[in-house]
Amino acid sequence: MEDHAKVYAGFLNDSVVIRLTGHVTVLVAPLLKRFQDAHRDDILRKPRLIYDLTECNFVDSTILGLISHLSVAYFKANERFGTLIYADPRVKNILETLNCNRILDLIFVPPEFSTIAAVQEIEPPAAFDKAAIRASVTQAHQALVELNENNAALFSGVIEDLKLPPHS
């Protein structure tokens, strides 16, 4: 399993699949957010929303916030949870610590059964857009606070800092 994070996404039959690999951090948040925002209506109409983290060895709170944000909207539109599959117990621990299991069905899949290769990689831009990263981080952490009020103690400082004008 490589450490370099990658984002793959696409539509397969009656499902939308978002696959994250490697050490997934805020640096790929704009890629994930761009896909989710661009395809939101199509995603919400699909019978299944699947996040594949079977080749992910770490995921940070920004990414989990973006996953949670879309998952809440998906639940409201379909009255069913999205699914998140994982292989690394550390990833499950992070998910449960932030209460993502309240909005996603978490399913363990052994690494040798890593799944969906039929989705396309979302290529990163030549340069990172700081405003896009800032927007991704803000939306992600607000979603985590909305998911569970106990997360407010963890992330209120992050959210407040993001309200300040960016440093030059």
112 inside domain: yes
How much is the average pLDDT of 62-75?
A: 96
142 inside domain: yes
Quickly state the pLDDT bin for 116 (edges 50, 70, 90): low
pLDDT of 84 reads 95
CB pairs under 8 A, 24+ apart, for 148-155? 148/98, 148/99, 148/102, 150/99, 151/98, 151/99, 154/61, 154/98, 155/61
1 inside domain: no
Quickly state the pLDDT bin for 153 (edges 50, 70, 90): confident
Share of residues in the chain with pLDDT > 70 (%): 90
CATH code (residue 31) = 3.30.750.24
* pLDDT above 90: residue 110: no
62 inside domain: yes
10 inside domain: yes
39 inside domain: yes
Q: Are 41 and 8 in contact (CB under 8 A)?
A: no
Q: What is the pTM of this model?
A: 0.78
What angle is formed at CA 60 by the lines to CA 63 and CA 94, rounded to 5 degrees?
Answer: 110
pLDDT tens-place string over residues 92-105: 999 999 999 999 99
CA distance 49 to 75: 10
35 inside domain: yes
pLDDT of 167 reads 63
pLDDT of 73 reads 97
Structural domain total, the chain: 1
Q: Which domain does 111 fall in, by range? A: 6-163
pLDDT of 115 reads 56
CA distance 95 to 68: 10
pLDDT tens-place string over residues 16-31: 999 999 999 999 999 9
Q: Which of 60-74, 111-125, 136-150 has the lowest mean pLDDT?
A: 111-125
168 inside domain: no
CA distance 108 to 111: 9
Quickly state the pLDDT bin for 48 (edges 50, 70, 90): very high
Q: Chain centroid to CA 129: how far? A: 19
Phi-psi region of 148 (alpha: psi -120 to 50; beta: other; left: phi over 0): beta
Residue with tokens 């799944």: 115
CA distance 1 to 23: 9
Backbone angles phi and psi of 34, in degrees to 5: -60, -45
